[in-house]
Chains A and B, each alone.
Chain A
């Protein structure tokens, strides 16, 4: 068996209906699970970013990435191990307020986990934390004794440790190539 690792796959696409299912299909076809997924617009007009966390042997992930990049409306795909990116997830915890108040030093708990309260009423309190998966899980563990009513986590978002989003360079190059073709 090849060594399985966690990879963050960053996909830049044109804004087009149906692309997301083509991308997730590529994972299914290579029997890779999607551990987390987030999608949204980028700073570039018309360019979307999809970030997927998966786990598998490097060769299989690479093949999947290449198959995705082959799709006509996919601009560029990168995949990274965790040490090559800065990444975060957002977690929200809904906790029974009366339970939470019993914990004694709520402030110390929140500051220890670098979390904050975003909503509080008589029945429940919503706590927000950003961090890595294991960190948000630890806070969940810490809150468990106080009755966690709901716990949700977002998909991962990440930036590479390179100076610039590599897709910028690619798109600039393509712009020049388009000019050349138009001049022909």
Chain B
């Protein structure tokens, strides 16, 4: 017989877990006590705030492709992870969160550090379960990993009561492989495949828009084969970035509000739009009623509730992206669309001249965010894992990073959680110690989870932090400039001296203000694998362009504050 706490660790080991992110507290102490006996099998990363634990686990999961594990105490420990649980739900990230809970007899009595974790997390988790007896531990852990990692991944919360932690059980672990009420991967219907093939074979101006579903399904190669055979240009959502290498000839860049001109404009011109593993977020569609209204839409998604949710579809294919793409590639005719594909280059040229060039090769004036991101891609040759926070830093990182391999871009997409970046980068580096991990973060976001510098210090996590410092909450400032009559309400920020903060945590610090120092500073930044902070003082009132203003169609694009895109 072993305790429920030991059963938890044994079950985690059985699930292949070797790293967890957590923070101890009163109602999880038996679990932490038992951890002492698992030091040879489990690396526990002690964070500085529970929100840091879950974002780190998210970063870890997204680089590694297996669930990240979080262990926190009851009450405030549990409520502190809630933002991350919601973020993981929106962005389909597999995480298993274990929260301590008061003894079953004390449940519902407002006991010290009691919170209704099951009630709080039900709407924002894929599944949750309160473990009330040690006998349930192995079953609950197996089920949690199965649910978190299969189908459309997501967060699972196990609320571990104190008596279950200290109770005794005969441990027997069996992985979960079936739940009758849960169908993680629907089989695509033959009819939908046939209809899709017919549409693809007849298409003259096909366009693919793909999302994170490609990465989650490990379908990067299958997507490439599909695009090549059909000669189909493709645009990526924010979370789809890096699933195609940036230099793949049919790759047209990012779609959406701050996406590239070509795929956004062509969304309004294509005759068949194939959406794969994406969910038509409003930041992708702009005004829904005019989005791709001329096109026949094929939507492939593993989550059938996404099909038809936002955009009416001609054909909905329920299934795993990789498997569906393999079938379609096999059955469809090889095609060539030279004129259609060439049309993208014309849009790209306009964007290059009006937006990209001035952003990454401004020549004079203050440093711009885009040229910093471009410089990082240059130094790392597109091989780094790029992590972003939320805001202008995120959009600039997304727009100007180049990727040589998949699973190289991590960002809080759906929820847009400021403070996500720093802990997520820590988790990413722990998941992929051999790869450079570069965080782009603003001076707003870095201060939301700045305490995780402590985690970097203690674990010596070699994260490269590029602080795009403009002394503003830049994204909100941009909206205030463009849509709120330049009334800058609460967006000006007085910054601390980051050199002192970095020094306090033993993190190497360097500031860059002049263009001529940038390349060398970036060289130095990536010259080793030690934690480092590069504080880049960028143009204060820089805006992210192009931009589809809110309430506009996705092909109504501002190239600058006062210039609309016009077809050439």
Instruction: Return the CB mask of A8-28 against B: 1 if under 8 Å, else 0.
Output: 000001100110011001000
Q: Report the bound CA distance from A88 to B181 in whole Å.
A: 28
Contacting pair B309 A63 (CB below 8 A): yes
Pairwise interchain contact A63-B178, C-beta atoms closer than 8 A: no
Majority SS at the chain B contact face: mixed
Closest to B183 in A: A174
Q: Smallest CB–CB gap between B145 and chain A, Å?
A: 13
| Min CB–CB distance A15 → chain B (angstroms) | 11
Q: Report yes or no: B309 in contact with A72, Cβ–Cβ below 8 A.
A: no
Q: Which residues of the other chain, B, contact A14 by a CB distance below 8 angstroms?
A: 181
Closest-CB distance, A136 to chain B (whole angstroms): 34
- Say yes or no for A29: interface residue by CB 8 A criterion: yes
A38 in the interface (beta carbon within 8 A): no
Contact A29/B305 with A14-B181, A174-B180 known, Cβ cut-off 8 Å: no
Contact partners of B304 in chain A: CB under 8 A? 66
With contact pairs A25-B123, A29-B123, A72-B126 given, residues A181 and B305 touching in the complex (Cβ less than 8 Å): no
Residue contact B303 to A72, C-beta cutoff 8 Å: no
Q: A72-B127, A72-B147 are in contact. Are A171 and B180 (CB under 8 A)?
A: yes
Which residue on B lies nearest to A177, using beta carbons?
A: B178
Nearest CB of A to B136, in Å: 13
* 1/0 contact string of A65-106 vs chain B (CB within 8 Å): 011011011111000000000000000000000000000000
Residue of A nearest to B177 (CB): A181
B326, CB-defined interface residue at 8 Å: no
Q: Which residues of A contact B177 (CB under 8 A)?
A: 181-182
Name A's interface SS. helix
Q: Is A178 an interface residue (CB 8 A)?
A: yes
Q: Say yes or no: A18 contacts B303, CB within 8 Å.
A: no
Given A72-B179, A171-B180, A177-B178, 10 additional A-B pairs, CB 8 A: A17-B130, A63-B305, A66-B304, A69-B305, A72-B126, A72-B147, A174-B180, A178-B178, A181-B178, A182-B178
Task: Decide: B181 and A21 in contact? CB cutoff 8 A.
Answer: no
Residues 238-258 of B contacting A (Cβ, < 8 Å): none
| Interface pair B178/A74, CB less than 8 Å apart | no
The smallest C-beta distance from A164 to any residue of chain B, in angstroms, reads 18
A66: which B residues are within 8 A, CB to CB? 304-305, 309
Given A66-B304, A72-B147, A22 and B309 touching (CB < 8 A)? no
| Leading 4 A-B pairs by shortest Cβ distance | A66-B305, A75-B181, A174-B180, A72-B127
Bound CA span A54–B126, Å: 25
Q: Does the CB pair B182–A25 fall under 8 Å? A: no
A163-184 interface mask toward B, CB cutoff 8 Å, 1 = contact, 0 = none?
0000000010011011001100
